[in-house]
Structure 1
């Protein structure tokens, strides 16, 4: 048995391959992190080396102390995760203070975790607190149609939410918390991590203008499905705009009726 025989690792490899096939991860674009359960950490323990040195995270994430994460590597290609996982991904552990991490498996030959690890861990910290530990995944992808829309729509979360909700009936059911927007910022540092984190307090979907999308969720499948739904809605909107715009649409009252039928709270912030 190898670490790649463990179920959570198999799921991680499948999701990275699915994301590659979607066209969301050109070259070394995008990154995915997964917080292990206690049972998964125990299952992986015999493959883990605790002796490596710690590296500063750049922010403090106290509630992630001693947590383990399976992460994609900096400069690594998502399409290669299924070819050789330990070259392209690894498991890291956060220290007791929530200030540093160390590589305990994989990322061999001098590889490092994704350059956006700070944004990931900040978002993990917020979602862990907000969901009482239920959320375990942060996924960042370069979703084509969503990026395109950041050049033509106002960089306003209310505008993006309403426009994308209207493109498919299931959208407000899948992301009832709406969408947050971060204006263009240099990626990889504490500043963009903090701005993303602020929005993650209220949203599971955050769009980085002219860059891509961040999604948070309980599982790899649910997080992938959330991103897929948003991106499909963005694709429909791009097509609608290219055909001259909407002639009819889903109304605010339609959304209220939908929320009632599906027992989903749809915020009036996004309705007329």
Structure 2
């Protein structure tokens, strides 16, 4: 069976292309990973090679032991994924201890997974646990307007959440738990992985100050849609702030509560009232 004809592979490649077309993946910016389902692994496992060496992850993700992930490559360009999948993406296996990985398909010519792999895996571990195994996609992209806001808004969960919720009525429905904010940190290391995974216990979106966003979802559509909604709301806020620093009218706490009731979502009270 042709690996590239698998629906999850095609969905992964489409998301890479969609993100690039939005302008969120300049050069080799951003990364994407997908925790494969058991039946997906079984359907293509005959095409895997187990010749490449095990490599330390740099952290321990025991609840991901023996799982397989489709990931983008380090230094690879999202715009090239559809043109040459095997050179730009690959499948990695996690060992029984949750401390090592090895490439079993793709990432040819010595390519390696994204440098953000530890962050992706730590957050997959958290979301697997907190969503009862439902979330399978982790996505990092350089959303222009969100990044711009991290220079002018206080880096606080409550402020970012409230401002983004106010800009578009759908936002409290799409991300009712809010967004977390991680202060600027060097990417690719354990510190940012730990800080992000702490936010992901409570949120599906973490904003990386001066860098971009980190999203989790059940599938490619939900995860891309989440990132798209957050960035669209940020774009509206940037435009509003360019016209005036003061809102003449907005959505009130009582209206948020009415919206939540109608759409059967729960909105944390800490985000409803300005601090």
Q: TM-score, normalised by structure 2?
A: 0.98
1:75-97 alpha-carbon deviations (Å, 9 max, x no partner):
00000000001100100010001
Distance 1:139 1:43 in 2: 25
Alignment-derived partner of residue 179 in structure 1: 179
Alignment-derived partner of residue 49 in structure 2: 49
Alignment-derived partner of residue 144 in structure 1: 144
Alignment-derived partner of residue 271 in structure 2: 270
1:181-196 to structure 2, matched below 5 A, reads 181-196=181-196
Alignment-derived partner of residue 11 in structure 1: 11
Alignment-derived partner of residue 257 in structure 1: 258
State the SS of the aligned residue for 2:101.
strand
1:1-272 to structure 2, matched below 5 A, reads 1-245=1-245, 246-272=247-273
Aligned residues: 272
1:4-38 alpha-carbon deviations (Å, 9 max, x no partner):
01110011111111111000000000000000000
State the SS of the aligned residue for 2:250.
coil
Distance 1:51 1:251 in 2: 59
Deviation at 1:51, TM superposition (A): 2.6
Distance 1:91 1:211 in 2: 26
Alignment root-mean-square deviation, CA: 0.7
Distance 2:50 2:66 in 1: 11
Deviation at 1:101, TM superposition (A): 0.5
Distance 1:153 1:43 in 2: 48
State the SS of the aligned residue for 1:238.
helix
Q: Which moved more, 1:243-252 or 1:227-236?
A: 243-252
Q: Which moved more, 1:51-60 or 1:69-78?
A: 51-60
Deviation at 1:271, TM superposition (A): 1.0
Deviation at 1:50, TM superposition (A): 2.0
Distance 1:233 1:129 in 2: 29
State the SS of the aligned residue for 2:33.
strand
Distance 2:234 2:85 in 1: 31
Q: TM-score, normalised by structure 1?
A: 0.99
Runs of at least 4 residues off by over 6 Å: none
State the SS of the aligned residue for 2:265.
coil
Deviation at 1:263, TM superposition (A): 0.6
Deviation at 1:43, TM superposition (A): 1.2
1:89-147 alpha-carbon deviations (Å, 9 max, x no partner):
10001000100110000000111100000100000000001111100000000000000
Distance 1:230 1:96 in 2: 36
Distance 2:87 2:205 in 1: 29
Distance 1:132 1:44 in 2: 25
Deviation at 1:256, TM superposition (A): 0.4
Deviation at 1:247, TM superposition (A): 1.3
Distance 2:32 2:240 in 1: 31
Q: Which runs of 5+ in 1 are unaligned?
A: none
Q: Which runs of 5+ in 2 are unaligned?
A: none
Deviation at 1:46, TM superposition (A): 1.6
Distance 2:244 2:253 in 1: 22
